Amino acid sequence: MSETIESLKCLIIGSGPAGYTAAIYAARANMNPVLYQGTQPGGQLTTTNEVENFPGYPEGVTGPEMMLELKAQAERFGSDVRDGWITKVDFSGDIHKVWVNGTKEIHCETVIISTGASAKYLGLESEQKYLKLGGGVSACAVCDGFFYRNQEVVIVGAGDSACEEAHYLSKLCSKVTMLVRRDVFRASKIMANRVINTENIDIMFNTETVEVIGDGQLVTGVKVRNNKTGSEVDIEATGFFVAIGHKPNTDIFKDFLKLDETGYIINEPGTSKTNIPGVFVSGDAADHVYRQAVTAAGTGCMAALDAERYLAAKEV
């Protein structure tokens, strides 16, 4: 075997709550895990200012701070956390092959995929500005809706997830304005009727976002345009929620792993196992329902335990 090829018991692809939790459990099981952090070390939570719903933080914690603590905990038990990202995989044989940054080749007995999913945004300059500032733009109502209690917010989207998030926000916020690009919902009738029949949800059909308005630090409103008449209006709001879907970061696995129509990895129910023995999945790369830090951490634990049992069975 070439000296340039590294052999590992356990490779974890991606960081965030799922990847770091998998590393903690794998390290404690003497699997000597190596974790590559990917293009966004710490995952989506590094873009979140306040996390108040993760157990063990009674006063809350910032997303970046929590990820640094999870990383430190993984390293404490001996996890090898590295910079870099996986650019190619080959899961066709008993030994799983991956390439780092397009050059370094690694052979792995087990692989845990924790690459997550990326929220889709409208791509407006003003939207991205306030997203980076943490001043009122979010793609997760369950994560951030709490910060907008008794305030007026705007949400963009027309599918089941958008309706679910709008309904969730309606329980916290004084008013929710829902922007729907077409003249109908894409959501199921039951979900659409739920928001239609909610008193403090105002639905604007044939409406697109022109600009997220703010004072340079915080969102103060949203400029929208009716795509039938061309008329524009400003809506006062302190929060702007985008619910137009997520894209799982799984493209490099599509030639080997079973994915659903959206690109989420299909796991064996009740486990983290994929269709390839020795390859496991955790976090938002497979979860399109809950998408929470605590559930991602739980599946990271599952993946490490499944990988440990897989290795133990091979030794018998």
Query: Which residues are marked as active site?
Result: 140, 143-144
Amino acid at site 67 = M
CB environment 220-253: b (16+ within 10 A), e (fewer)? bbbebbeeeeeeeeebebbbbbbbbebebbbebb
C-beta of residue 205 within 8 angstroms of C-beta of residue 180: yes
The string of DSSP letters for 105-134 reads EEEEEEEEE---EEE-----HHHHHHHHHT
72 Cβ contact list (under 8 Å, min separation 6): none
| Residue pointed to by tokens 């916020």 | 173
Q: Residue 302 and residue 241: Cα distance in Å, rounded? A: 31
